[in-house]
Structure 1
């Protein structure tokens, strides 16, 4: 049984790190002393900007395009990044998408795109990274960015909810199977975070009012990255198979919201 307390990370790969949570995570891990593999799907410029930030922190950055709807190719990208970095001690699966389509209107192609991006492609990338960690024999840290919708659904998000529920389950199984190699596997489940995915680019979340969230505002990507950085560090040596909600208390509002919603607008996406 490998000792998870002796983990000393030097390299990390963060998928979907061209903006938002992924960029904040790449920068946080660089600040912790790691060289970073950065991936992008549609925003190459954003990925290069992330790489610039990593290099300003004094660490190496390697950039690749990643399309998780093509699982075999996605796994090869992770292998390529690991080769150039000299290994992968930390792997953060952040790449994901949503479609906002109600269940009755959801066509098979849209379903497949969302599920392939968030789950099947994630599986391929996670497996490629884990195999390299096992072969290297130095332990490792795996973190998947899921969502509060790993736990609770949202109207108009059938494919997204299904994929995030499943990704959380996959991580728990990985935690059981990889523990003997000194590799931990955890999820981070963000609520509403002020990022491009939620239409809030370069906005101050403290200036937005969210009455339905106990902390009263959206989150900042750096607040999510801080939790990921902990889970990627030697300090998290006894944490595995967990899912950490970073949501300002949103998940605690179920019964409260049920008793205080006064209209039926929630039934529409």
Structure 2
């Protein structure tokens, strides 16, 4: 991907709703043809594709179960072939678990790690191989979480997986920079999406005392960051994790000093 290009070829996983949908549409607005994957919501993926096509670009959709390892990588290969190449890969698909550490079952642990880390590894590796083979560089963007930086009670599996994914992206930046491939993690805080139980809600009308900005984020705000990272203007950004959380990560000592009960210790 050259610095003078507008648009290109992109794949966004988990693009049937939330951050994934917003990212696919934002990339389309910048001229990208977009491959869209979905797991359980085909209608949602079709709706995303419709929005993408409104920008005059191509949209392809494919089912993807990231926990189906290593077959999930075959989906990335097929989508890349159908698109005619790959310049930007956004690893957005993920899952979570809100269970106290002592109660997490091994099967639950494995599923979260499979989706958020091992399956992500397989998909990212396939995308990277396609980019290296094409020889024109590329961008790999992983949607992680603020919990790749700080933990939360009840999220041991999720926290471990997101820490691991963030570390993987740093390694990719080291190993593939010579091939013109950058690797960046985007770490959202609370975003108003179906995953946080805020489907179609305007976050500007929701108050959050624990977030300096006073509200959750909008998926389109995260998408704007992803689109920037996919653009020529971000060509030299690699190997880092960018939090987009309204200042939430800065609240540690401040929030701790004002907690008046031990309710935070329970899920």
TM, length-normalised to structure 1: 0.97
1:64 equivalent in structure 2: 62
Unmatched segments (≥5 aa) in structure 1: none
2:6–2:31 CA contact under 8 A, matched in 1:
no
2:216 is aligned with 1:229 = no
| In structure 2, distance between residues paired with 1:44 and 1:101 | 29
CA distance in 1, matches of 2:7, 2:113: 31
Kept after mapping to 1: 8 A contact 2:6/2:30: no
Q: Is the 8 A contact 1:97 1:117 kept in 2?
A: yes
1:111 match: 109
Moved over 6 A (4+): none
**Per-residue CA distance 1:224-268 (angstroms, 9 max, x = gap):** 000111111111011000111000000000011111111111011
1:146 counterpart = 2:158: no
Partner residue in 2 for 1:258: 256
Structure 2: state its 5+ residue gaps.
none
Is the CA contact (8 Å cut-off) linking 1:71 and 1:125 kept in structure 2?
no
Given the alignment, which residue of 82, 85, 107 partners 1:84? 82
Aligned partners of 2:152 and 2:95: how far apart in 1? Answer: 15
Alignment of 1:243 onto 2:250:
no
Q: CA RMSD in A?
A: 1.1
Q: Secondary structure at the match of 1:35?
A: strand
> In structure 2, how many angstroms separate the alpha carbons of the residues matched to 1:244 and 1:133?
23
1:8 deviates by 5.6
Aligned to 2:206: 208
| 3-state SS in 2 of match to 1:46 | helix
2:185 to 180, 184, 187: 187
SS of corresponding position for 1:47: helix
Distance 1:173 1:90 in 2: 18
Q: In structure 1, what is the equivalent of residue 33 of structure 2?
A: 35
**Alpha-carbon distance between aligned partners in 1 of 2:148 and 2:36, rounded to the nearest angstrom:** 25
CA distance in 1, matches of 2:2, 2:229: 12
Give the TM-score, by structure 2 length: 0.98
Match of 2:18 among 6, 17, 20: 20
**Is 1:4–1:237's contact at 8 Å kept on the other side of the alignment?**
no
Superposition deviation, residue 181 in structure 1? 0.5
2:177 corresponds to 1:158: no
Cα pair 1:7 1:140 within 8 Å, conserved: no
